[in-house]
Amino acid sequence: MTPAERRAALKGKPLVLAGELLTGKPFSTDSLKGKVILVHFWASWCPSCRKSLPAVKEIQDNYGTKGLVVVGVCCDREVGALRKFLAQNRDVNWPQLFDTAKPGWHELADQCGVDAIPAIFVIDRKGVVKSVNGRREMNKLIPLLLDK
């Protein structure tokens, strides 16, 4: 199956993303049932990813108190570079899944068929993937999902 086929096959199916946060603590989106989740696959070295951050931040600001949670899946190559970026950009304050033992393209990105970043997925309150094209659909889709 190609990455695009793997990604497309996720739509309408339950998805749990689990791994280690940059802080070293274990994390799973399973703990977020009842919330709408925006998953942002990105890296601090990626110009397009950095350009996408204000839109993610804006949607978090607009809907975070209404049940939206943003989760980053970071594909940075170096933990130091990521820590420095986040220290300089404190408004990127959502949990970051990052494998310090194996930096670079995150295993979850591979599993989800993400072959280019930034990529945004939207998961509903039941843990079902509603969009694998969230960059285009998040502004319309998230308010609808939060109203359900």
Domains within the chain, CATH numbers bracketed: 3-147 (3.40.30.10)
Contact criterion met (CB below 8 Å) for 76 and 45: yes
Let me know: does 69 contact 97? Beta carbons within 8 Å. no
Give me the residues of the chain with pLDDT under 70, please.
none
Tell me, what amino acid is at 38?
A: L
Distances in Å between the Cα of 106 and the Cα atoms of 9, 113, 130 are: 19, 11, 22
In the numeric block, the tokens 């990813």 are attached to 49
pTM of the model: 0.96
Amino acid (one-letter) located at 29:
T
- Tens of pLDDT, residue by residue over 53-72, are 999 999 999 999 999 999 99
Strand pairing report for 129-131 and 68-74: unpaired
Tokens of 11: 């739509």
